[in-house]
């Protein structure tokens, strides 16, 4: 069921468009993430939804309600801030009860609901503490409890975990995710950490310069980026320059990369220079003795053992270096620096971009602006 509809929304600061013609539809109970580099407009979009900014153009609907004209305090939104924004002059309990009091909920019901929320975030034992006596992680839990206790129609979180240390971040994001699913709250989550986004989201919108680049499920974003920006921003990848001789829609086309010619399917007719993108774990390293015209010769110049995987840097004859991840399956499989190898660029999993950075293999009508 469609729940949140953001239609052609733009917000200007002076002359610059902080967000530019945003269209997003979010379903009931969905965990939706806004992902993008610093300054791309994530916070701006979130604050526009919350009612702290008024968009210059476009409309926002919560369900069937037209929300443009509704002031922030009447939008029934739960918000979790990066710096927690706990009320420093109230105890944990009072912080969480704050929104319920504003809604004139009866006293005994407040107690029941606050206790319930405290349990959900595992803070029952701290309810009479002053915020100054809480750790960062605990403060963020208070902030989360305070936001969900009011049964918000929409939960907004702006980089809620960025002030926490790495380990706690992983635990908290799992907790947030399971709580969100349990309560079935439609959630918009902002982060610039792509790993976090991939881990928790139902769907992700990648933003850059105030514009949506791609909307999709985590694996779609990762495996089928629609442009060079997304492919570069999510995960890491090798970009190789190449050339397409002739490619007809739906037919095999031949891409020449580093002197080898590979066959791949093209979503639209294309001819000319391209950028061949292949992720480190999609590249296959073969024995030097393998012979096939689609394999590239290379030499390992660096090997870094990371435990579950090994990262190799391989230099081609052209002087170009790519990085390759290989599972360290068993002892004896480790390759040494100086080893000569053959490399399979795995065209079936590669993504190819034209010179403007647009993807040319898949048809993304359904993924973009869905």
Site size with Mg ion, rule: CB under 5 A: 1
Residue 160 engages ligand ATP in binding (rule: CB under 6 A) = no
The residue from 18, 134, 221, 341 that contacts ligand ATP (CB under 6 A) is: 18
Residue 75 engages ligand ATP in binding (rule: CB under 6 A) = no
Residue 89 engages other proteins in binding (rule: CB under 8 A) = yes
- Residue 309 to residue 331: CA distance in whole angstroms: 12
State which of positions 186-225 bind ligand ATP (CB under 6 A).
192
Residue 52 engages ligand ATP in binding (rule: CB under 6 A) = no
Which stretch in 39-47, 172-180, 200-208, 338-346 sits in contact with Mg ion by CB under 5 A?
Answer: 39-47
Least distance between Mg ion and beta carbon 194 (Å)? 15
Residue 15 engages ligand ATP in binding (rule: CB under 6 A) = no
The residue from 9, 31, 33, 43 that contacts Mg ion (CB under 5 A) is: 43
Looking at the Cβ atoms of 43 and 186, the one nearer to Mg ion is 43
Residue 40 engages ligand ATP in binding (rule: CB under 6 A) = yes
The residue from 16, 52, 250, 302 that contacts other proteins (CB under 8 A) is: 52
Looking at the Cβ atoms of 46 and 314, the one nearer to Mg ion is 46
State which of positions 130-189 bind other proteins (CB under 8 A).
143, 146-147, 150, 156
Q: How far is CA 178 from CA 30, 46, 90, 193, in A?
A: 12, 22, 28, 19
Residue 44 engages Mg ion in binding (rule: CB under 5 A) = no
Which stretch in 68-76, 263-271, 283-291, 317-325 sits in contact with other proteins by CB under 8 A?
Answer: 68-76
Buried b (16+ CB within 10 A) or exposed e, 301-326: eebeeeeebbebbbebeeebebbbbb
Residue 259 engages ligand ATP in binding (rule: CB under 6 A) = no
The residue from 8, 27, 39, 184 that contacts ligand ATP (CB under 6 A) is: 39
Taking a C-beta distance cutoff of 8 angstroms, is the pair 164, 170 a contact?
no
Looking at the Cβ atoms of 43 and 138, the one nearer to Mg ion is 43
Structure tokens at 293: 């015209």
- Residue 38 to residue 370: CA distance in whole angstroms: 24
Structure tokens at 301: 């110049």
Site string for other proteins, 90-129 (x = CB under 8 A): --------xx--xx--------------------------
Looking at the Cβ atoms of 75 and 279, the one nearer to other proteins is 75
Structure tokens at 321: 């270096």
State which of positions 123-152 bind ligand ATP (CB under 6 A).
none
Which stretch in 48-56, 195-203, 269-277, 316-324 sits in contact with other proteins by CB under 8 A?
Answer: 48-56
Looking at the Cβ atoms of 98 and 239, the one nearer to other proteins is 98
- Residue 315 to residue 302: CA distance in whole angstroms: 9
Nearest partner of 92 among 73, 74, 115, 75, judged by Cα = 115
Residues that bind Mg ion (CB under 5 A): 43
Residues that bind other proteins (CB under 8 A): 2, 5, 7, 50-54, 56-57, 59, 61, 64, 66, 68-69, 71-79, 81, 83, 85-89, 98-99, 102-103, 143, 146-147, 150, 156
């Amino acid at each position: 069921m469609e729940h949140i509809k953001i239609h052609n929304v733009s917000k200007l600061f002076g002359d610059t468009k902080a967000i530019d013609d945003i269209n997003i539809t979010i379903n009931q109970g969905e965990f939706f993430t806004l992902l993008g580099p610093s300054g791309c407009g994530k916070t701006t979009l979130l604050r526009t939804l919350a009612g702290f900014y008024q968009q210059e153009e476009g409309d926002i609907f919560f369900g069937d309600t037209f929300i443009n004209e509704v002031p922030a305090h009447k939008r029934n939104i739960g918000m979790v801030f990066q710096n927690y924004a706990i009320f420093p002059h109230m105890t944990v309990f009072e912080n969480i009860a704050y929104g319920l009091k504003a809604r004139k909920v009866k006293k005994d019901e407040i107690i029941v609901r606050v206790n319930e929320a405290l349990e959900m975030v595992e803070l029952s034992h701290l309810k009479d503490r002053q915020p100054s006596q809480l750790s960062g992680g605990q403060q963020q839990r208070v902030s989360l409890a305070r936001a969900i206790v009011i049964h918000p129609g929409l939960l907004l979180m702006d980089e809620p975990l960025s002030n926490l240390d790495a380990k706690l971040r992983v635990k908290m994001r799992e907790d947030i995710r399971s709580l969100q699913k349990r309560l079935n709250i439609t959630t918009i989550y902002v982060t610039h950490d792509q790993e976090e986004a991939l881990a928790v989201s139902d769907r992700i919108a990648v933003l850059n310069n105030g514009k949506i680049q791609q909307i999709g499920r985590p694996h779609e974003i990762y495996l089928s980026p629609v442009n060079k920006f997304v492919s570069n921003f999510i995960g890491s990848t090798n970009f190789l320059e190449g050339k397409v001789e002739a490619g007809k829609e739906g037919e095999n086309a031949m891409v020449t990369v580093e002197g080898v010619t590979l066959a791949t399917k093209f979503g639209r007719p294309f001819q000319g220079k391209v950028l061949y993108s292949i992720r480190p774990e999609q590249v296959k390293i073969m024995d030097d003795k393998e012979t096939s015209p689609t394999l590239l010769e290379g030499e390992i110049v660096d090997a870094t053992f990371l435990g579950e995987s090994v990262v190799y840097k391989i230099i081609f004859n052209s002087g170009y270096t790519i990085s390759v991840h290989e599972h360290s399956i068993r002892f004896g499989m480790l390759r040494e620096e100086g080893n000569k190898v053959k490399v399979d660029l795995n065209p079936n999993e590669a993504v190819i971009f034209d010179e403007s950075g647009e993807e040319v293999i898949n048809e993304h009508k359904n993924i973009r602006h869905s």
